[in-house]
Amino acid sequence: MKKYSILIFIVGLITLLLIQKKLIMPFVYKVVQSDLFLVDSKDQGGQSPISTPLTGLAYTHCNSHIKSKFGHDTSINFPNQPLNAWSLGNYQYVINGEFDITSVNANTITKKYVCRINYKNGDNDEGSLDPANWSIEGLSGLDSN
């Protein structure tokens, strides 16, 4: 048996590669091409920054979340518009914004942030003003100076 161990190893490896190529990968390609992972939504994503009522609300909710992180004793000012806002599709947004923090000794620091936020109610925009219908998926830029 020791004599043929390399030969058995090579034959086994070739068999595994052929099974993957002829059986497994065609099945994977058929699953990927099917509608199994298709999310049908009126909100289409894009690579270009956009400005819609929902991106404006997403910006407002991200700003409220940031204010809650700093507390009431810190003065924070946000511009009226985000720097950029993108729709990822299916009511998921990425907001790029900035804000000014004024400390007790009157120093003002400008910080930029990126917020990923998701609107949970989909096509139903009646509850879009309620913060409970939004979830912050990620927030970065608050720790950097």
Instruction: Please write the tens of the pLDDT for every residue from 36-58.
Output: 776 666 766 777 888 888 889 99
CA-derived radius of gyration, the chain: 25
CATH architecture of 53-140: Roll (3.10)
pLDDT reported for residue 18: 96
pLDDT tens for each residue of 64-120: 999 888 877 778 999 999 999 999 888 899 999 999 988 777 788 899 999 999 998
pLDDT at 130 over 90: no
Domain boundaries, the chain: 2-33, 53-140
pLDDT tens for each residue of 16-30: 999 999 999 999 999
How many other CB atoms are found less than 10 A from the CB of residue 88?
Answer: 15
pLDDT reported for residue 1: 65
pLDDT reported for residue 114: 96
pLDDT reported for residue 28: 93
pTM above 0.85, yes or no: no
